[in-house]
Every structure is written in structure tokens, then in C-alpha cells.
């Protein structure tokens, strides 16, 4: 009997499998679709390298470097162009640079003099007695302007979410932690965080990808795991056995027995699987919401775009009333993503602000994005490349009450012996978070059960 069956070959499942194997456990990963990576998907078209999901990730945990080295992908690592440190925010349809120094902050037209003065009150504001939304937290500490023109677009960029609904403690843990950590230095530390800088001790704080795109990572992990990863093998049902679990696979095939099972699935998919195991668990998982997003990649000849594209891209505050959430200057972020004398832009549209939008037909979606970004970036003519990727369930929303909901989920899971979950609806949504969580999980398992002990039960 294998030690761990992992359901789902996204980065959560693959990194859990990799680190569990490093700890000496036997693993098998079952993936429903015909490829590994889940939300991570890169593709090439006409000389452009397009990301349908994550475009980069912040190397803010040691686990990511360990995984990259472990699977021999160091040579393919790409660090973002330093120009990408420049980030723009749209205000009154003009791009304004997010300030990174105190002087730039004093000079920026992004905030009014009154908004800037309001920040001076910040060190004198105490902690709230109860869980707050991101919006309430920021309004209380930093004022409405800071919420509208700095935090709201940041939340859209990361979660495609609504700051009035997300929990500051769970959705923006680092911002929440700054309150206790930095006190009077809170504002400076917050700006560093928003602009992708380091907020505390972290390995490198580099924004990274890979020469062959983000997909190179899950592919390399899967290739090193070899036969242990099986694609096109969705898990249709889980049944408790006298010892461990039996997994029924979709289509043909004998059930597989495993001592322990890890659900590395989006919450709604885990909920379906849990219906026959625990109705309360299935119900709790189904309460985790995911807004839809579409990622729209547009390629142009360089001369068609008037803007210098000298940065990471721009984010759109909700107050601008646009359906596009933001646009990455993908070929600036990682040069080589577009053919010579061409540029690649990746826009995200929809999210909690405009949930119906990703349902639009592809031509309408592209037309909507183009209509909105054309005047901002001074774009002439039609794109030479168009690629749309829709995500019906994009990113789990860590809403107010998330602590209570997760507590309930954890209690039910704890009562199901040998059943675990590792996915982006637990402890962080970024790719780096998922890798770190996979590593922590494997280490915790090693502490709890030595592989030798498990082998003796075979
Ligand atoms: C559009 C978009 C942009 C993003 N941008 C960034 C970014 O720039 N930087 C960053 O760090 N993060 C980003 N993220 C977040 C990050 O990519 C995800 O949180 C992370 O990849 C999720 O990994 P996961 O393994 O938890 O889930 P998933 O990637 O969803 O993987 C789950 C896997 O389970 C499989 N599955 C489902 N049901 C079954 C079943 N019954 N049996 C077997 N397999 C099953 C699925 O097919 C899938 O492969 C982005 C996400 C999206 C959607």
C-alpha cells in the first residue's frame, strides 16, 4: 500500500508529493486532466510565450528555491527585469507610478495633500478588537484615499477580489502582521510590500519565472516523480477502508489503496469528492467562493504601442469603473516573451467586481479589454496575437469569517484519520505559498509518522 495518494497535480499536489518523497514516503499523484500544473499553464504561439495563469511568483520562501534546485531547474530560472520594479496605478485614466521612496511619495499626484497628511496619524492608531475587512482596516489606519488608490488595486491584482469582503487577517496576512511588527514604520513597510519588495527576512524577494514559462516548474517536478504522477486519472470517489483509503478512479481501472490521502484540489472540487465521506465537510468547502477571471494576452508590433512599457504593468482601482483589473507588460517583465520588435501585454478582466464578464464571448472580451487599454497605452491598430484563457473558478476568496470556516474544515478533517488537504484555499494563494505549504506538510508528516512505521503496515 502506498503511503500517500495525492489528488490533483497542481503545484500544491506536486510539491507535497516531491517533499513527501524527499522525506522517504512513497507517493502517487492522480490528476484528472491530461496535463499537470492546474492553474499554471504556459503556451507558445507565433513566437510569443503566453501565460494563461500565473505570470511570475515572488521567491519569498526557501521552499521554492529548494524545489527548483531539487528538480534541476536552476538553469532555467528567470529573474524579472529590474525595470519591473516600477508599477503603475491608473487614476483618472492616467498611469501614475506607485511611489517607492519617501520623496516620491511626497511628490506623487496619486494621493492628495490631505490623503498624505492622513498617513501621519497612522502610528497613533491602535489595533481593532475584532476581525476586520481589508477595507475597514485600511480606512481606519490609513484613510479612504489609501484604500482607493493603493490597496483596492493591489487586492484586485492578487485576488481579483473585493477589499470590503476579504478578511485582512487571512487574505493579506503580511499587511496584517506589519501592524504588530512595525508600528510607526508601518507605512514604509507597507509600500515596500505593495511594490514587491521585502517586508522582512525572506530568501531573495525576487520575482521569478522560467525560460520556458511558469509551466516549466510543475513539468519538471512531475518528470522527476516519473510514474508516480498519473494524468487523465481523476479521482471519482474516496472510500474508507479498514486501513487507509480506497480511491476510485474515473473511467476504467482498479481502485487504488493508500494509507493516507491528500486533497490538493480547488475547494469546490474537494467538496464534490467529500460528499460521500462527510456531508458537513463538503458543505463547508462549498462555502469558499471563487470569482471568475479571463486572462487576455495581446501581442503587438512595438510601434503600435506608444507607451514605453517601462515597468511591471498597471493596476486599475475600482473607482475607475473599468472591467479590466490590470495589465502586465509581460515582454518587459521577462524579455524574450515576444518576437523581435514586438510586445506582449496580459490583461485580467472580471473578478469579484465584474463576475459576469468572463462569460462574454471571446471577441467581445477582447474588444472590451482593447477599448479600455487602448487610450491608456496609446495602442494603434489590431493585435497581431490574441489568446484568451478563462478561469471559471479563479482564486479562492479569504473572506470575513474565513478563520471560523477554516477552523471548521480543519476540525472535520482531523476527525477523518489519514485524510489531509493541501491547496491554495489554505494558508496562502501564491504559487510560492503552495510550495512552502507542501514542504511544511511533508515535514509535519515526517514528525508524525516515520515512513518505516508506515512500511511495516504493508
Ligand atoms: C489567472 C490566475 C493568475 C494567477 N497569478 C498568480 C501569480 O502571478 N503569481 C502567483 O504566485 N500565483 C498566481 N496565481 C495563483 C496560483 O497560480 C494558484 O493559487 C496555484 O497555482 C494553485 O495551485 P493548486 O495546486 O492549489 O490548485 P490547482 O492549480 O487548481 O490544481 C488542482 C488540480 O487538481 C486537479 N483536479 C481537480 N479535480 C480532480 C479530481 N477529482 N481528481 C484528480 N485531479 C483533480 C485539477 O485538474 C488541477 O490540475 C494565479 C492564479 C490564477 C487562476
Distance 265 CA to ligand 1 centre (A): 8
Q: Which of 8, 218, 255, 334 to mutate to test the pocket of ligand 1 (most atoms within 8 A of CB)?
A: 8
Ligand 1 centroid vs 65 CA: distance in angstroms? 19
* pLDDT grade for 199, boundaries at 50, 70 and 90: very low
In this structure, are residues 392 and 426 in contact, taking their beta carbons and an 8 Å threshold?
A: no
- Whether domain 2-40+215-289+399-456 has CATH 3.30.565.10: the reply is no
Q: pLDDT of 167-191, one tens digit each?
A: 988 988 877 777 766 655 566 667 6
Which atom of ligand 1 is least distant from the CA of 395? Answer: 53
User: What length does the chain have?
Assistant: 458
Domain ranges of the chain: 2-40+215-289+399-456, 99-194, 290-391
Q: Hey, whose CA ends up nearest to atom 1 of ligand 1?
A: 53
- Under 8 Å between Cβ of 10 and 362: no
CA of 120 to the centre of ligand 1 (A): 40
pLDDT tens readout for residues 55-79: 999 988 899 999 999 999 999 999 9
Average pLDDT of the chain to the nearest whole number: 91
* Pairwise CA distance, residues 287 & 425, whole Å: 11
Is the Cβ–Cβ distance between 262 and 6 less than 8 Å?
A: yes
435 Cα: distance to centroid of ligand 1 (angstroms): 12
- Quick one: pLDDT band at residue 457, thresholds 50, 70, 90? very low
Cα–Cα distance, 299 to 88 (Å, whole number):
20
Q: Work out the percent of the chain whose per-residue pLDDT is above 70.
A: 93
Distance 12 CA to ligand 1 centre (A): 8
Q: How confident is the model at residue 105 (pLDDT cuts 50, 70, 90)?
A: confident
Identify whether the C-beta of residue 285 lies closer than 8 Å to the C-beta of residue 412. Answer: no
* CATH architecture of residue range(s) 290-391: Alpha-Beta Complex (3.90)
- Res. 217: pLDDT tops 90: yes
- Which amino acid residue places its CA nearest to atom 13 of ligand 1? 54
What is the per-residue pLDDT for 313? 96
Residues 6+ apart with CB under 8 A from 297: 48, 50, 51, 52, 330, 344, 345, 346, 385, 386, 387, 388, 389
Query: Under CATH, which architecture does the 99-194 domain have?
Result: Orthogonal Bundle (1.10)
Q: Cell numbers of 351, please?
A: 473578478
Assign 458 a pLDDT band (cuts: 50, 70, 90). very low
Give residue 174's pLDDT: 78
Mode of pairing for the β-strands spanning 94-97 and 57-59: unpaired
- Rounded Cα–Cα distance for residues 456 and 458 (Å): 6
Bridge-partner residues for 207, per DSSP?
A: 58
Kindly give the distance from the C-alpha atom of residue 33 to the centroid of ligand 1, in angstroms, as a whole number. 12
- DSSP states along 268-329: HHHHHHHTTT-HHHHHHHHTS----EEEEEEEEEGGGB-S---SSEEE--GGG--SEEEEE-
332 falls in which pLDDT band (50, 70, 90)?
very high
Q: Name the grid cell of 205.
A: 524577494
Which residues surround ligand 1 with Cβ inside 6 Å? 7-13, 30-33, 38-40, 53-57, 234-235, 264-266, 269, 273, 293, 295, 391, 394-395, 423-424, 429-432, 434
How far is residue 301's CA from residue 306's CA, in Å, rounded to a whole number? Answer: 11
- 290-391 and 99-194 share a CATH fold: no
C-alpha cell at position 15? 510539491
Amino acid at each position: 500500500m502506498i503511503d500517500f495518494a495525492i489528488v490533483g497535480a497542481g503545484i500544491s499536489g506536486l510539491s507535497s508529493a516531491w517533499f513527501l518523497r524527499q522525506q522517504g514516503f512513497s507517493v502517487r499523484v492522480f490528476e484528472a486532466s491530461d496535463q499537470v500544473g492546474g492553474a499554471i499553464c504556459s503556451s507558445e504561439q507565433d513566437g510569443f510565450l503566453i501565460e494563461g495563469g500565473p505570470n511570475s511568483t515572488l521567491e519569498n520562501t526557501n521552499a521554492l528555491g529548494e524545489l527548483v534546485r531539487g528538480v534541476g531547474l536552476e538553469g532555467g530560472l528567470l529573474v524579472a527585469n529590474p525595470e519591473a520594479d516600477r508599477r503603475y496605478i491608473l487614476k483618472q485614466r492616467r498611469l501614475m507610478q506607485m511611489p517607492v521612496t519617501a520623496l516620491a511619495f511626497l511628490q506623487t499626484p496619486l494621493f492628495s495633500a490631505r490623503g498624505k497628511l492622513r498617513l501621519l496619524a497612522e502610528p497613533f492608531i491602535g489595533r481593532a478588537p475584532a476581525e476586520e475587512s481589508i477595507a475597514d482596516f485600511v480606512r481606519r489606519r490609513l484613510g479612504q484615499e489609501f484604500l482607493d488608490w493603493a490597496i483596492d488595486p493591489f487586492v484586485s491584482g492578487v485576488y481579483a477580489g473585493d477589499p470590503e469582503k476579504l478578511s485582512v487577517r487571512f487574505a493579506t496576512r503580511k499587511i496584517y502582521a506589519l501592524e504588530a511588527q512595525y508600528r510607526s514604520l508601518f507605512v514604509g513597510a507597507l509600500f515596500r510590500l505593495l511594490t514587491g519588495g521585502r517586508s522582512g527576512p525572506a530568501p531573495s524577494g525576487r520575482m521569478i519565472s522560467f525560460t520556458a514559462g511558469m509551466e516549466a516548474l510543475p513539468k519538471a517536478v512531475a518528470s522527476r516523480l516519473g510514474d508516480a504522477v498519473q494524468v487523465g486519472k481523476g479521482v471519482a470517489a474516496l472510500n474508507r477502508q479498514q486501513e487507509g483509503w480506497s480511491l476510485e478512479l474515473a473511467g476504467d481501472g482498479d481502485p487504488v489503496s493508500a494509507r493516507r490521502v491528500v486533497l490538493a484540489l480547488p475547494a469546490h472540487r474537494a467538496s464534490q469528492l467529500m460528499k460521500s465521506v462527510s456531508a458537513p465537510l463538503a458543505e463547508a468547502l462549498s462555502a469558499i467562493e471563487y470569482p471568475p477571471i479571463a486572462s487576455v494576452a495581446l501581442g503587438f508590433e512595438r510601434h503600435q504601442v506608444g507607451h514605453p512599457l517601462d515597468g511591471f504593468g498597471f493596476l486599475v482601482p475600482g473607482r475607475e469603473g473599468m472591467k479590466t483589473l490590470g495589465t502586465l507588460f509581460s515582454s518587459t517583465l521577462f524579455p524574450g516573451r515576444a518576437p523581435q520588435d514586438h510586445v506582449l501585454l496580459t490583461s485580467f478582466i472580471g473578478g469579484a467586481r465584474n463576475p459576469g464578464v468572463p462569460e462574454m464571448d471571446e471577441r467581445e472580451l477582447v474588444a472590451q479589454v482593447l477599448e479600455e487599454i487602448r487610450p491608456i497605452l496609446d495602442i494603434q491598430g489590431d493585435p497581431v496575437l490574441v489568446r484568451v484563457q478563462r478561469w471559471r473558478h479563479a482564486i479562492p476568496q479569504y473572506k470575513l469569517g474565513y478563520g471560523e470556516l477554516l477552523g471548521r474544515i480543519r476540525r472535520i478533517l482531523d476527525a477523518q484519520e489519514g485524510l489531509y488537504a493541501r491547496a491554495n484555499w489554505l494558508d496562502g494563494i501564491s504559487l510560492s505559498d503552495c510550495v512552502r505549504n507542501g514542504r511544511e506538510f511533508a515535514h509535519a508528516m515526517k514528525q508524525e509518522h516515520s515512513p518505516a512505521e508506515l512500511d511495516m503496515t504493508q
